[in-house]
Structure 1
């Protein structure tokens, strides 16, 4: 099974070796494949009605709790400090429920 690194962002350049997505639903579809071993999230994506990086965190959290989803390593690269703190709190919940030491 091949694995991938997913980069959710609307503006920053995509790091080499990462799969670029622009919207939360695209990131979630890739997560559902089970082939994502690292995901890096921006919060502000230019259209809050289409979602934010926090929507991905919330999806992972729910999937871990209700479906025993095994989360990838989760990184946050958002410059929005308030949103970053909220996303990191969600990630801590994911860690508690998944007991995966590689998730940040």
Structure 2
């Protein structure tokens, strides 16, 4: 992996991948929106790499970790739910079983955005 690619991806892959098991805050805090933004950033970096390179493989693996965090971490706030639905609508578009499923997800996202 080139130094430039590594230095660009490190802030994204660093501490934000870790989620403490307990949060010392009275208000719930979701990191889903941040993870979604970082997922998109890593995938943008991946898109300009030679797809057979070590850089591309590393960036894809980092993106996979963000995807797992977004999809498997239960949201505690409306903002977290909105970020999860944005991710689903944006990245699940090729996997809808029927058009009605996509419409449902878009309507839920619309409702969370109000």
Please tell me the TM-score bracket, short chain as reference.
0.3 to 0.5
* TM-score using structure 1 length: 0.37
Q: Which has the larger radius of gyration?
A: 2
What is the TM-score when the length of structure 2 is the normalising length?
0.34
